[in-house]
Structure 1
Amino acid sequence: MPALALIFNAFVWGVSWFPFRHVESHGMHPVWTTCLIYLVIATLMGIARRHAWKGFAAYPMLAVLGLAAGFTNVGFNWAVTQGDVVRVVLLFYLMPLWSVLLAWLLLGERPTGGALARVALALTGVVVVLKTPGTAWPVPSSLPDWLGVAAGFSFAVTNIVLRRLREAPGESRALAMFCGCVVVAGVTALAGSALGAIASPMQAAPGWIGWAALLGTGFVIANVCLQYGAARLTASATSVIMLSEVLFASVSSVALGAATMDSRILVGGALIVLAAVWAAFARTRVRGDDRASLST
């Protein structure tokens, strides 16, 4: 059951691009959609779990967690709506690279030889994915590319901050992440609409509401499944199972014409996923060694 719960979580995020694109087809920008969905979720949770607000006073860093989660959601949701889904998801999953760098800078964890090798492996995969025949140097070449990279970086920050907040109540962490999505998406949407870069939600056709409700329901259930599964499985098992999001996103987007799959994407994606799997098992071995040393 824990594994199935995590697979469902990965499925929801892997196919979320589809309802997001239907919402956008009715004139509602994905950033506005993200803001409104999480506004409803945060409001309902804030009312139903009022005691969760107390955690903000005891753990001020929850605000940082909220902002990191907000940038993650805004970047990912916007990117998969606008760009090639497989390409965006692969760029998002550059966790070995960002995790090593952030752990070094913020937690003082110097990278090992194995960690540097995983970074090199992930970077090689990125070069393969981005190196198209028309590019002289493989760098992100579009807004969805940059959003995918930025969302992956923000996701790594989210995980680092979660490690620092392991003692905070789970409900307070979840509420902080929901509120952060509202704030970041809301500010981005308002600024974008004021500048004319993002369409006003007042111009949207009413048909988007059903798809947005489907997304919101899926996100809530997916979050519950994540909390349930991650609490009952090892970190390595959780990390590897969550990578099934790449599979769900790839199959669904290619089948529905929202992405292309060629040998270059397959090879580069395999390198990125391999680096992430390697990182997952490496973390488990390190934690096991730490427990052994403490017991002696």
Structure 2
Amino acid sequence: MTGGVRNAWPTLAIMLGASVWGLVWYPMRMLAAMGLSGTAASATTSAAACVFVLLAKRRSISTLSWHWLLVGLGVAAGVTNIGFVWGAIHGQVMRVLLLFYLTPAWTAVFAHFILKERLSRADAALSLLSLAGAVTMLWSPKLGLPLPANLAEWAGLMGGMGFAMSNVLVVKVTRTLPAMKPEMRTAVIFGGAALIASIVTLFEPMPAPPAAALLPAVTAIVIGLGVVLAGNNMIVQLGLARVPANRASIIMLFELVVTALSAWLFAGEVPGPREWAGGACIVVACVLSAWVHRPRAARPAAVADTPGIVDGVPESKKKSTRAMV
């Protein structure tokens, strides 16, 4: 492998992951059209992903030790999955995703209380910028207060909060349980998402179940989607382990581009001026957040040579797992 390819493949891995997340709403809508509700689709695909990870990585996955952080991580992953899937199925995909991406605001708050990270002025300003983007996108003289207009948009907002909490808890887990392998965290995330979605399914009005003739197609999509999501998650983790966290967060914004294009091609959804303006504020907040938290260029030699430190940043802080459908 040449040096250029070796240096580029982690970035390509993260872009691949972003592309998958930007397209996954469409097969979820296909399942909904076949009679599988959003929460049931989230539960079944997450369960399929969890089983795939456990089988594919059974030799490297250690015995799971009990810890309350893992319960919290599973619940946060469940909220993330349900919010994203249900919102994308029932709402305008781009608006739901932009509300989902209000993560700078929620991450700053959660990190302050859970990771004991001091909320700086820059963090507060970026949180306000992302919230200003949401207000710009949601405000309408006819609707009054700039709040999500329907349950799908509320689901996207809640999913984004769950995503921010998941990212913060992943950092907390890597600090508290450093021996836990990434594969085990992936299994916890998908397992928790499957369990939470299964519980919520009991409270969602169920449509007519898939017709017998559609069951093979539904089963194939569920299993295929679970395998794709699990494999995609593990590939992205390999990329995240070799790319600074600040750069990775910018690369992940490629998902917005893929989602916008796929929503236009497959659903005929074209964002209006307010969506573009509000989305620009949210994207700028994400990019500036990554820039503000970039590692310093100059590092003491002792730090650079310390085991477990890469580019002057603890490896535990550079790895994150995304829970998505």
TM-score, normalised with respect to structure 2: 0.82
Query: Contact 1:36/1:182 (CA < 8 Å) preserved in 2?
Result: yes
- The question of whether the paired residues in 2 share the 8 Å contact of 1:27 and 1:201 is answered with yes
Residue 218 to residue 132, structure 1, CA distance change in 2 (3 Å): farther
Aligned alpha-carbon RMSD (Å): 2.3
Q: Tell me, yes or no, if structure 1 residue 276 matches structure 2 residue 286.
A: yes
Between the two structures, name the one with larger relative contact order (CA 8 Å, sep ≥ 6). 1
Give the match for residue 115 of structure 2.
107
State the distance in 2 between where 1:20 and 1:230 align.
Answer: 26
Query: Is 1:92 aligned to 2:104, yes or no?
Result: no
- 1:124 alignment partner AA: A
Partners of 1:51 and 1:295 in 2: CA distance: 30
Contact 1:239/1:280 (8 A) holds in 2: yes
| Matches of 1:92 and 1:294, distance apart in 2 | 40
Q: Structure 1 residues 168-177 or 75-84, which shifts more?
A: 168-177
Q: Secondary structure, in 3 states, of the residue corresponding to 1:220?
A: helix
CA drift at 1:225 = 1.9
Q: How does 1:1-296 map to 2 (within 5 A)?
A: 1-48=9-56, 49=58, 52=61, 54-57=63-66, 59-166=67-174, 167=178, 168-192=180-204, 197-199=205-207, 201=209, 205-206=214-215, 207-285=217-295, 288=296, 295=303
Shift of 1:47: 4.3
- The answer on whether the counterparts of 1:85 and 1:258 sit within 8 Å (CA) in structure 2 is no
Tell me the distance in 1 between the aligned counterparts of 2:294 and 2:258.
25
TM-fit CA distance, 1:100: 0.7
Amino acid paired to 1:284 = R
* 8 Å Cα contact 1:32-1:186 kept in structure 2: yes
| CA pair 178-257 structure 1, distance change in 2 beyond 3 A | closer
Which sections of structure 2, spanning at least 5 residues, go unmatched?
Answer: 1-8, 305-325
Name the structure with the higher helix share. 1
Closer/same/farther in 2, CA of residues 50 and 186 from structure 1, 3 Å limit? farther
Deviation of 1:165 (Å): 1.1
Mapped partners of 2:128, 2:139: distance in 1? 16
Equivalent position SS for 1:139: coil
Higher alpha-carbon deviation: 248-257 or 153-162: 248-257
Equivalenced residues, count:
289
Amino acid at match of 1:52: I
Deviates more, 1:59-68 or 1:238-247: 59-68
Name the CA shift for 1:199/1:257 in 2 (closer, same or farther; >3 Å): closer
My pick for the range that moved more, 155-164 or 98-107, is: 98-107
Inter-CA distance 234–87: structure 2 relative to 1 (3 Å threshold): same
Q: How far does residue 161 in structure 1 lie from its aligned partner after superposition?
A: 0.6
Distance 1:36 1:7 in 2: 26
The DSSP-based 3-state class of the residue aligned with 2:271 is: coil
Are residues 209 and 263 of structure 1, via their aligned partners in 2, closer, same or farther at CA, if it must alter by over 3 Å? same
- Counterpart CA distance in 1 for 2:253 and 2:44 is 28
**Per-residue Cα deviation, 1:165-220 (whole angstroms, up to 9, x for no partner):** 1113212211111110111011011232xxxx233646674232333233223212
Q: C-alpha offsets along residues 25-83 of structure 1, whole Å, 9 cap, x if unaligned?
A: 111112111111222222343345266352333x4421211111111111101110110
Q: How far off is 1:221 after superposition? A: 2.5
CA contact 2:81–2:159 (8 Å) conserved in 1: yes
3-state SS of the aligned residue for 2:149?
A: coil
Letter in 2 for 1:251: L
Q: Counterpart of 1:55 in 2: which secondary structure?
A: coil
Mark the runs of 5 or more structure 1 residues left unpaired by the alignment: none
Distance (Å, rounded) in 1 between the aligned partners of 2:51 and 2:227: 14
Question: Aligned with 2:203: secondary structure?
Answer: helix
- 4+ aligned runs moved over 6 Å, structure 1: none
1:19 CA drift (Å): 0.8
1:129 is displaced (CA, Å) by 0.8
Whole-angstrom distance in 1 between the partners of 2:210 and 2:276? 41
